[in-house]
């Protein structure tokens, strides 16, 4: 991936596209088709998008359009944002990178683990 797509940019994408668009036309998927359609063998129907160059057993081979939360264009990549992952498509060569959103941990769970870590060394003494 480009050096421009940092952890901070990825977190911003998850926050910016936390909810699906009201209407699929808001995604402007035509921009994606223009930039990557031929390179990735993209086929779109009313309900899904299929990447024919991907292996048929890949979980990303066919994706429901309703699962796409957003699209972001970068200098050399286009990102399709979903609720739990982001697909980065290289615009110059066939290369797809997937970023999975880390599981969120509540403050109560973090406190539990910190206390457990803090108490464990005391018990061994």
Q: Give mean pLDDT in consecutive 10-residue pieces for the chain, a chain of 125 residues.
A: 75 94 87 91 92 94 95 94 96 94 81 75 54
Split into its structural domains, the chain has a count of 1
pTM of the model: 0.79
pLDDT of residue 50: 95
Give the 3-state secondary structure of the chain: CCCCCCHHHHHHHHHHCCCCCCCHHHHCHHHHHHHHHHHHCEEECCCEEEECCCCCCCCCCEEEHHHCCEEEECCCEEEEECCCEEEEEECCCCCEEEEECCCCCCHHHHHHHHHHHHHHHHHCC
Any domain includes 108: yes
Q: Which domain holds residue 61?
A: 7-123
Any domain includes 64: yes
């Amino acid at each position: 991936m480009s050096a421009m797509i940092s952890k901070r940019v990825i977190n911003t994408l998850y926050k910016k596209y936390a909810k699906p668009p009201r209407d699929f036309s808001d995604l402007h998927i035509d921009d994606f088709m223009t930039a990557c359609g031929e390179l990735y063998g993209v086929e779109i129907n009313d309900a899904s998008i299929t990447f024919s160059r991907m292996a048929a057993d890949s979980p990303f081979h066919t994706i429901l359009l309703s699962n796409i939360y957003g699209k972001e264009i970068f200098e050399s990549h286009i990102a399709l944002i979903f609720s739990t992952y982001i697909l980065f498509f290289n615009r110059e060569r066939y290369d797809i990178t997937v970023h999975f959103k880390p599981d969120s941990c509540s403050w109560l769970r973090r406190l539990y683990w910190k206390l457990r870590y803090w108490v464990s060394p005391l018990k061994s003494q």
